[in-house]
Structure 1
Amino acid sequence: MNDETDAGYLEYVSGRIPALRRLAYLLGGDEHQADDLVQETITKLYAKWPRIAKVENVDAYVHTMLVRAFLDEKRRGWWRVSLRGAPPERPAPAPPSSDEKTVLRAALKRIPARQQAVLVLRFLCDRSVADVAQLLGCSEGTVKSQTSHGLNALRRILGDRVGGAL
């Protein structure tokens, strides 16, 4: 890429990192995973930047890339192996701001990744059904059914813990 193209990429990415990290964190619930997803997304974005920079809605394109990276990582599953002799030292997690957030995050992790992505995009990122369908590359009906199935699963998992919140 030339210097002008690099400058456009750097300007775009530096302005979007916080929003991308927030979306990635909402999807995965882990800061490290969020950083990895954002890094993977912006790396792929750099490789395609000359074409993507001309797209009408770059943000929607990049959000789609991020959500697909999240779903791809969930599909990789159990076969990902860490080749370390001992578990890495991790800093103590910051205390949660509320018990409900912790309970909800744990419940979200227990539902299928696609339902999790739909619920996060619809309710935590305040996206419309049409936006979510476009991001996930599916029909609006699929988004609606995944939302319904995901909410029902959360209700089963959470029971009476959250009252009528869901």
Structure 2
Amino acid sequence: MHTTGWEDEFREYVMARGPALLRAAHQLTGHPLDAEDLLQNALTKTYFAWDRIEDRKALDGYVRRAMVNINISQWRRRKLEEYPSDELPEAHEPHELCSDVHAALEQALQELPERMRAAIVLRYYEDMTEPEIARTLGISVGTVKSTVSRGMAKLRNALGLP
């Protein structure tokens, strides 16, 4: 099979950055299989836009933004298929070598509502500003501030921190 130079470049990018991008997708979705689907969809969008992306240093940002946008679209389309329960399913540690604190934080993140989790991930994992998060999630800056504040309080409580 003959591939073009940009297809080889795309393949090399995915092989080099795939694991880090998958971790970001997992933080957004809270579920490993959903994260794989999300990343695959974002990489498909990136593949079709590859020739228009001039700054190759901005590729991670492009893929992450695509993941956030796809994830938001899925929230808006999804019907209510999950119902609250007093019992939580058994948790699985995301990585064998994670510290107890990291595993507890990942679990606490997964238990947050989706928009709250996205706001926390964008703020503290992606280092986005509140106005950037507001634009990305389609909410006001005030809503970002209160959502992040309530989310951090829930995380502190879940981790037993003051």
Consecutive unaligned residues of structure 2, counting only runs of 5 or more, are: 83-90
Checking the alignment, whether the CA contact within 8 Å between 1:9 and 1:46 is kept in structure 2 is yes
Checking the alignment, whether the CA contact within 8 Å between 2:28 and 2:118 is kept in structure 1 is yes
- In structure 1, the residue matched to 2:46 is 45
Checking the alignment, whether the CA contact within 8 Å between 1:67 and 1:135 is kept in structure 2 is no
Checking the alignment, whether the CA contact within 8 Å between 2:122 and 2:133 is kept in structure 1 is no
Checking the alignment, whether the CA contact within 8 Å between 1:122 and 1:132 is kept in structure 2 is no
- In structure 2, the residue matched to 1:54 is 54
Aligned equivalents of 2:4 and 2:145: distance in 1? 44
Alignment of 1:70-81 (within 5 A): 70-75=71-76, 76-78=78-80
- In structure 2, the residue matched to 1:127 is 127
Residue type of the partner of 1:119?
A: I
Aligned equivalents of 2:160 and 2:27: distance in 1? 19
CA spacing shift, 1:93–1:147, aligned 2, 3 Å: closer
Residue type of the partner of 1:116?
A: R
- In structure 2, the residue matched to 1:136 is 136
Instruction: Find the residue that maps to 2:80 and give its secondary structure.
Output: helix
Identity among equivalent positions (%) equals 32
- In structure 1, the residue matched to 2:87 is none
TM-score, normalising length: structure 2: 0.67
Residue type of the partner of 1:162?
A: G
- In structure 2, the residue matched to 1:117 is 118
Checking the alignment, whether the CA contact within 8 Å between 2:130 and 2:145 is kept in structure 1 is no
1:146 Cα deviation from its structure 2 partner: 2.9
CA spacing shift, 1:122–1:40, aligned 2, 3 Å: same
TM-score, normalising length: structure 1: 0.66
CA spacing shift, 1:133–1:17, aligned 2, 3 Å: same
Aligned equivalents of 1:64 and 1:140: distance in 2? 18
- In structure 2, the residue matched to 1:66 is 67
Alignment of 1:1-166 (within 5 A): 3-51=4-52, 53-55=53-55, 57-75=58-76, 76-78=78-80, 93=92, 98=100, 101-102=103-104, 104-105=105-106, 107-123=108-124, 125=125, 127-129=127-129, 132-133=132-133, 136=136, 143-152=144-153, 154=154, 158=157, 162-164=160-162
Consecutive unaligned residues of structure 1, counting only runs of 5 or more, are: 81-91
Aligned equivalents of 2:63 and 2:134: distance in 1? 12
Aligned equivalents of 1:144 and 1:155: distance in 2? 15
RMSD: 3.5
Aligned equivalents of 2:9 and 2:102: distance in 1? 41
Checking the alignment, whether the CA contact within 8 Å between 2:21 and 2:60 is kept in structure 1 is no
